[in-house]
Structure 1
Amino acid sequence: MLLATAFFAGLVDAVAGGGGLIQVPALFAAYPNAQPATLLCTNKVASIGGTLNAARKFLHHVSLPWAIVLPAIIAGFFGSLLGANAVSNFPAEPLRKALPFVLLFLLLYTWFQPSLGEAHAPPLGKSRFQQCKGALLGLTIGFYDGFFGPGTGSFLLFGFVRLFAFDFLHASAATKLVNIATNLAAILMLASLGQINPPLGVAMMVANIAGSQLGSRLAIQHGSGFVRKAFLVVVSLLILKSAWNAYFLN
């Protein structure tokens, strides 16, 4: 069951992010008595393989403005370390309550801007301002991923589209690269605390990679319009799940 879940999570994540929406609940259902941190680390281990594979396939078909993406990757890594370190010092409850409303804003903004993410027109050159914006995006979402996590891929995808005029296909490729850095930071932090299950994580990683092969092929074949539709579906599901967890689940 977990391998099938990891395959489908890899497929969804490669297209529009949100694989954790599928993978994390399955892990908690299969191992109800396990430490939550161990299951979250296992999810990161499983996901990072599929994310790496999807990034590799995307980079064979798209060209990214590295002056923006590289600062986001580096800052995302350190942001995730800071977020993982802050978990024990600050309550996540306010974020959990606010998440459905933030995601709803993303959904409505994208829905009512049908031209958003259609054209790929990122800023040219190595503007210091654009580099700082990229680093700030990576640092902010990286911290969120390390501290809390749900919807990280969706936030990154929206950020690259809205802040840097990426189309959805290029934004999805950039999101994968930043997500690799944030996942790696969280894995290193949690593994150093002994919160890791390598055999399960690696087995699920193989299935996740297989799913990402199919998902990235679909995204590349069908282009930005397909990724936009998948993004809207994933964010809608995230809204429902995060609202249920925050307000109805005891």
Structure 2
Amino acid sequence: MPDISLTTLFLLALAALAAGWIDAVVGGGGLLLLPALLIGLPQAPAAHVLGTNKGVAIVGTAGAAVTYLRRAPVDRRTAVRIGLAALTGSMAGAFFAAGISSEVLRPVIMVALLAVAAFVLLRPGFGTLDEDRRKQVTRARKIAAIVLVGGGIGFYDGLFGPGTGTFLVLALTAVLHLDLVTASATAKIVNVCTNAGALAMFAAQGSVYWQLAGVLAVFNLLGATVGARMALRKGSGFVRGVLLTVVLALVAKLAFDQWA
């Protein structure tokens, strides 16, 4: 574990707690935790910061997934298949990441997110429970979810990454006609798969501060458990509000990284 002060550790623990809550509700917890780690560990190599972040995130994501699975109507077989496709896609994205400029990708992602925010605002019914539409989901749509949502967003996660959980929630809602709570639950299972693949790679490279990750993971798990229970209790309207907030925060962060 790197040499850090108790104050820094306390602030990182708070960031991990809040990130777990955000990630469990709608994804995007990395928007908070990763910058916090970069600030709190200014001398650490970037790979160690990224690896430690994955070591923390996988615990919270797994905890949220378990909470959702107990109470949300998740199609587990489809979720696991999407997760395996996402794992493969993220490995492929990581392979090509070195040749892609993030400066080129950021404006594209910002435009896509702004379009998403406008769509959610203009479609109040998006992500609400509609059993008729859900029952009409065909085998072809499930295959599209595995290939396009799993493989495509998994590839994006390995290539660039910011907002992966949020994109998963939106895509699963659109393709499989899930309500936002069920989409969040399914996204957690997919996220566990992608985080596991990334963590295994960082661990093999010795790029994880395991002691720090273990401490922060406790707080991340607590935040994730509370967030998942709140989402289940408050329903899709609550998730929709958090979704819009996270999307706009992600746009602001990408804009800052691009032009600051």
TM-score range, shorter chain: over 0.9
Q: Is the 8 A contact 1:81 1:189 kept in 2?
A: no
Which secondary structure does the structure 2 equivalent of 1:97 belong to? helix
Which of 136, 145, 148 is 2:160 aligned to? Answer: 148
Alignment of 1:64-103 (within 5 A): 64-66=74-76, 68-103=78-113
Q: Is the 8 A contact 1:67 1:131 kept in 2?
A: no
Query: CA–CA distance in 1 between the matches of 2:64 and 2:231?
Result: 10
2:6 corresponds in structure 1 to none
The structure-2 alpha-carbon separation of the partners of 1:57 and 1:115, relative to structure 1 and needing over 3 Å to count, comes to same
1:219 corresponds in structure 2 to 231
The structure-2 alpha-carbon separation of the partners of 1:95 and 1:149, relative to structure 1 and needing over 3 Å to count, comes to same
Which secondary structure does the structure 2 equivalent of 1:40 belong to? helix
Alignment of 1:167 with 2:176, yes or no, is no
TM-score with structure 2 length normalisation?
A: 0.90
1:120 Cα deviation from its structure 2 partner: 4.2
Alignment of 1:230 with 2:242, yes or no, is yes
Query: CA–CA distance in 2 between the matches of 1:219 and 1:22?
Result: 19
2:48 corresponds in structure 1 to 38
Alignment of 1:29 with 2:39, yes or no, is yes
Query: CA–CA distance in 1 between the matches of 2:118 and 2:137?
Result: 32
Query: CA–CA distance in 2 between the matches of 1:125 and 1:186?
Result: 35
Q: Is the 8 A contact 1:97 1:247 kept in 2?
A: no
Query: CA–CA distance in 1 between the matches of 2:223 and 2:63?
Result: 10
1:124 Cα deviation from its structure 2 partner: 4.5
Query: CA–CA distance in 2 between the matches of 1:87 and 1:197?
Result: 23
Q: Which amino acid aligns with 2:144?
A: K
1:157 corresponds in structure 2 to 169
TM-score with structure 1 length normalisation?
A: 0.94
Q: Is the 8 A contact 1:71 1:134 kept in 2?
A: no
1:73 Cα deviation from its structure 2 partner: 0.9
2:142 corresponds in structure 1 to 131
1:126 Cα deviation from its structure 2 partner: 8.9
The structure-2 alpha-carbon separation of the partners of 1:171 and 1:67, relative to structure 1 and needing over 3 Å to count, comes to same
Alignment of 1:206 with 2:218, yes or no, is yes
Query: CA–CA distance in 2 between the matches of 1:232 and 1:209?
Result: 23
- Moved runs in structure 1, 4+ residues, more than 6 A? none
Q: Is the 8 A contact 1:76 1:139 kept in 2?
A: yes
Which of 115, 118, 126 is 1:108 aligned to? Answer: 118
Q: Which amino acid aligns with 1:15?
A: V
State the number of aligned residues.
248
Query: CA–CA distance in 2 between the matches of 1:19 and 1:3?
Result: 13
1:194 Cα deviation from its structure 2 partner: 2.2
Query: CA–CA distance in 1 between the matches of 2:182 and 2:13?
Result: 29
Identity of aligned residues (%): 35
Query: CA–CA distance in 2 between the matches of 1:174 and 1:115?
Result: 20
1:187 corresponds in structure 2 to 199
Which secondary structure does the structure 1 equivalent of 2:235 belong to? helix
1:89 Cα deviation from its structure 2 partner: 3.2
Query: CA–CA distance in 1 between the matches of 2:36 and 2:167?
Result: 23
